Each structure stands twice: as C-alpha cells, then as structure tokens.
Amino acid sequence: MAEITFGTDGWRSVIAGDFTFANVRCVAQAIAQHLQAQNLAGRGIVIGYDTRFLAENFAAAVAEVMAGNGIKSYVCEKYAPTPAVAHAVTVLKTGGAIMLTASHNPAEYSGIKFIPDYAGPALPEDIDPIVANLAEVLKTGAVRKMSLEEAEERGLVETIEPLPAYMEHVEKLIDFAAIKQAGMKVVVDPMYGSGMGYLETILARHGCQVKAIHNWRDPLFGGSLPEPTRQHLNELMDEVKKSGADIGIALDGDADRLGIIDPQGRFFSPNEILVLFLEYLVSNRGAAGAVARTVATTHMLDRIAAHYGFDVIETPVGFKYIGQALREQGAFIGGEESGGVSIREHIPEKDGIFAALLFIEMLAKTKKTAAQLLEALRQRFGPIYSERLDLRTTVEKKDEIVKRVKTWEPQSLAGIPVKHSNRIDGLKVVLANGSWCLVRPSGTEPVFRIYVEAASEAEKEKIQQEVKTALCVQL
C-alpha cells in the first residue's frame, strides 16, 4: 500500500492513485484511535467535504469507520467550506472534524484534513499520534467499520447544515448595518468550490446586490485551479468592471482563502490584504495585542505593529502556527502570504468568507477604495516590493540545494549588509535596510520557493539573482 504523507495541512493525493477508499478508511481509523486515546470519542466528530469527485462518497466511508469505532458523526448534508466545518466543531462541541478537501490543488486530487477540538488546523502534537496510528493500521489492516444504515439505527450518524450557525456567528463580528447603508455591489466567484452559496446568502440578507459566477458544482473546476491568484481571476476581473461592482471576491476550493478585485480590475495580494486589515482593526475597531505572521509574510505588518507598539510573532509556514498564536499567545490578527487570515474573536482557522466580509465592512466604514487605503499606508510606512519565485528542479538537485542552504551564510545581498538571519523555516536573511529574503524548499515537491521583499523593484530583482546564483538555481 502506498505511503500516506501528512503535509502542512493534511494528506492530499491523486484520486484512484493513492487516494482510494481503502486508504481513506485507514486514515479514518487512525483518527478514530487518536480521538479515543484523547478521551474525545464520546463527543463525536464533524465530517465535511468539498465539491471534488466522489467527495461525498469518501465522507460516507469516513463515517462508516467512525461508527465502527463507536464514534458519532455529524455529516454535512452537502459540500461545505472548511471554515464552516471548523466552526461547527465549536457549536456541537465535538472532538474535532474531518474535512475531505484538497483545497486549491488540481482537480485530480483529494485530501483529508483533521481539525482538532480547538477548531483550527492540527498542530504536530495532534498529527504525530495519528501518523503513528496509521503506520500500525496500514501494517495490520485492522479497520473497524459499520454500514451507514446500521449507524443511523444506532444514532451514530446525524446530518447537519453548518451555514445557519456560521452565519449567526459572523453576524456578531461584522458591522452589517454599515454594509447595508453603503449599498455595496459585489461579484462573488466561489471557483466551483464548496464556498458556493455562503457569501451570496449572507450578503443578500444584509442588503447587498450580489452576482455570482462559477457557482455550480464542477469537479474539474472549469479546467483550471480553484486558487484565487491573479492569473486565475480574469473572468472575475471582467465581470467586476462590466457590472460596475464595488468589489469582486474569489474563494479557493474549500473557501479558506480569498482573492480581492477592485472596481478597476486590480488584484490585491494576500500581503496587501493583511496590512489593510491590521490598520483597519486598530484604527476603526480599537484592536490591540500581538500580530502573528509566518516567516514568509510581509514585514509591512512589522512596521505598522511597531508604530502602535505591538509585538510581532513570527511563525513557521503553516496556518496551524498562526492559529496557535491566536489561541495562546495574545495575537489579535494572524495571517500568511498565501492568503490565510483570521482574528482573535473568530475561529483559529483561516477563513476566506469571513475575510471577505471584513474587507467589505472596511470599505463601507472608511468610505474609501482599497487602493486609496493602501496608498495611505505606503505614504506613512514606505513602499515595499514583494515577490515569491517558485523554482522547479529535480529530486537530486533539490537535495544538493538543501545542503547549500544549510551552510549558506551571506554577509550581504545587493550590496546591503546582513542584519540577522534565522532558520525557523528554511533560511531567512534580513538586511540592514529592512529588506529580506527567504529560501524554503517545498515539503512535498522538488520545488524551491524564494521570497524577497525589498525597498525597490531593482533591489528586489538584484537580491533574487544573487540568491539564485549563490545556490546554483537555474530558472
């Protein structure tokens, strides 16, 4: 049987390749044993799934295994977003959730994400026991299961719809009166994913004029990726400009990340969204505390935080560490450059739906465009030019480059002295003028990611070239 590897956010693999019903049941058995060991089995578990091929069938297979282990499953009646599934954990007070999703991965992939009882991404201390259980299950083949018919008779399966409780929760966190007064016109692109119906329902309920595109189930995602990055949002850009909308919002495949398009068709990067949120939460909501970001996320957050006297918590890549900072370390906002964000009052899970609503509230209450708000920040804190390069290589060359990264200790880049460096996750080098670069290998692919943030476009390109030369990386 193929090796099942858990990455930064669960296990993902190709459907009918490694992602088979047999393997899914083995993973479910390993999770069931973990719940039992933690004395959480009696609380039950939420099971959600996205819009991918056979997603509801895989979810049913998980429920059969849970029932076979005497654990009650609360199964979503249809596809549901990851953040709504995580929120259901807090409502039902279950021992956690299992989300069948491959997020923004290509259509041939599916995956399993375990969400513990704290309703955020699982930390290593929760995943490691599951992996250990899984090794034993794969070796022995000991999977306990029960038919859904019998499980229903025994009260071990219940169907739920997470939207109403989720909507009630966000209505306490978002100023919908201001949004209604502003009369916002919004175009929503759920990218054929499991966020379909959430933003449309919530915004229409509060007086917004909403139009949705790509809002039907297509397991092939229109032949593209359900990833809300600039290159995948051309149709949303066109629709926003054509309809004269105030904002366009895209959600990824399981709606835990978002993309923003303004009335001129401008795409706002996750880093830009994060700095806008930080300034808005402090200036308009009186938020205070620490600011959490991953090692790969913009230092504009640091500049703003320093201005207000807030600490910055730098974490490894992975929203699980941001969630931990929100739960345990006094952070009031946390985010990552790949698009995940949440705040202290919300669940400690990245949430594209909530982030979209907060963005709309920000526009409504400030009565300014996102471009105007961002320009004001640049005038106050200076410009920043950020870019991530994904450099594909071979497995053999990747190993060579990893060795070089481990011994590379530059004294300067682009003629600027190195201030300090760290190896929290990969190698991060911070320069004396505040510019920085991060070199980090992918955990699952023969890919290197080079993140650079600099004071000018020319400086950014010079740092990129010097890093590639030093590590013998060819584009």
Q: DSSP assignment of 83-111, as one string?
A: HHHHHHHHHHT-SEEEEE--TTS-TTEEE
Confidence (pLDDT) at 195:
98
Kind of pairing between the strands at 312-315 and 290-294: parallel
Do 243 and 204 belong together in one domain? Answer: yes
Same structural domain, 296 and 337: yes
| Of 213, 186, 218, residue with least CA distance to 202 | 186
pLDDT digits (tens, 9 = 90+) for 59-68: 999 999 999 9
Tell me what the mean pLDDT of segment 202-218 comes to: 97
| Tokens encoding 463 | 């740092």
Assigned domain for 364 exists: no
Note whether 297 and 331 are within 8 A (CB): no
Instruction: Please state, in angstroms and rounded to a whole number, the distance separating the CA atoms of residues 95 and 39.
Output: 9
d(CA 236, CA 190): 10
Averaged pLDDT of the chain: 95
Residue 474 has pLDDT above 70, yes or no: no
Which positions ≥6 away from 475 have C-beta within 8 Å?
389, 391, 468
- The answer to whether position 357 is within a domain reads no
- Helix, strand, or coil here: 290? strand
pLDDT digits 0-9 by tens, 98-111: 999 999 999 999 99
54 part of a folded domain: yes
The pLDDT score that the predictor gives to residue 207 is 93
Q: Looking at the domain assignment, is residue 372 inside a domain?
A: no
Average the pLDDT over each of 308-317, 328-337, 389-398 and give the range with the smallest value.
Answer: 389-398
| 469 pLDDT above the threshold of 80 | yes
Are 197 and 86 members of one domain? no
Q: Nearest CA to 344 among 333, 353, 352?
A: 333
Residues 34 and 143 in one domain: yes
| Predicted local confidence at residue 2, as pLDDT | 57
**What is the CATH classification number for the domain harbouring 440?**
3.30.310.50
Task: Assess whether 113 and 21 both reside in one domain.
Answer: yes
Rama region for 131: left / alpha / beta (φ>0; ψ in -120 to 50; rest): alpha
Picking from 133, 161, 189, the residue at the C-terminal end of a domain is 161
Query: What was the pLDDT predicted at 371?
Result: 96
- Average pLDDT, integer, range 404-409: 90
Domain span at residue 439 reads 385-470
* Locus of tokens 């088979």: 20
Answer yes or no: do 291 and 259 share one domain. no
Other beta carbons within 10 Å of 412: 12
Give yes or no: residues 131 and 181 share one domain: no
Are 19 and 143 within one domain? yes
Residue 296 in any domain: the answer is yes
If asked whether residues 108 and 187 sit together in one domain, one would say no
User: For the segment 353-377, what is each residue's pLDDT rounded down to a tens digit?
Assistant: 999 999 999 999 999 999 999 999 9
Domain boundary among 268, 301, 325: 268
Q: Does 380 map to a domain? A: no
C-beta of residue 104 within 8 angstroms of C-beta of residue 252: yes
Mean predicted confidence (pLDDT) in 392-407: 86
Q: What are 389's strand-pairing partners?
A: 450
User: How does residue 161 score in pLDDT terms, banded at 50, 70 and 90?
Assistant: very high
How sure is the predictor about 391, in pLDDT bands with cuts at 50, 70 and 90? confident
Phi, psi (5° rounding) for residue 152? -65, -40
One-letter amino acid for residue 295 of the chain: V
| Residue 417 identity (one-letter amino acid) | P
pLDDT at site 473: 53
pLDDT score, position 444: 64
**What percent of the chain shows pLDDT beyond 90?**
90
| C-alpha–C-alpha distance, residues 301 and 337, integer Å | 11
State residue 1's pLDDT score.
Answer: 47
Q: How many angstroms separate the CA atoms of 228 and 338, rounded?
A: 10
Domain presence at residue 359? no
Same domain, 234 and 125: no
The structure tokens listed for 260 are: 């923003």
Number of domains making up the chain: 4
Say if CB 298 and CB 96 are below 8 A apart.
no
Indicate whether 55 and 107 sit together in one domain: yes
Residue 68, pLDDT score: 98
- For 217-240, how does the pLDDT look when each residue is reduced to its tens digit (9 = 90+)? 999 999 999 999 999 999 999 999
Q: Is residue 369 part of a domain?
A: no
User: Is the per-residue pLDDT at 445 higher than 80?
Assistant: no
Domain match, 263 and 278 both: no
The 10s digit of each residue's pLDDT in 266-317 is 999 999 999 999 999 999 999 999 999 999 999 999 999 999 999 999 999 9
- Domain containing residue 299: CATH number: 3.40.120.10
Q: Looking at residue 399, what is its pLDDT?
A: 84
Report, as an integer, the average pLDDT of 98-125: 96
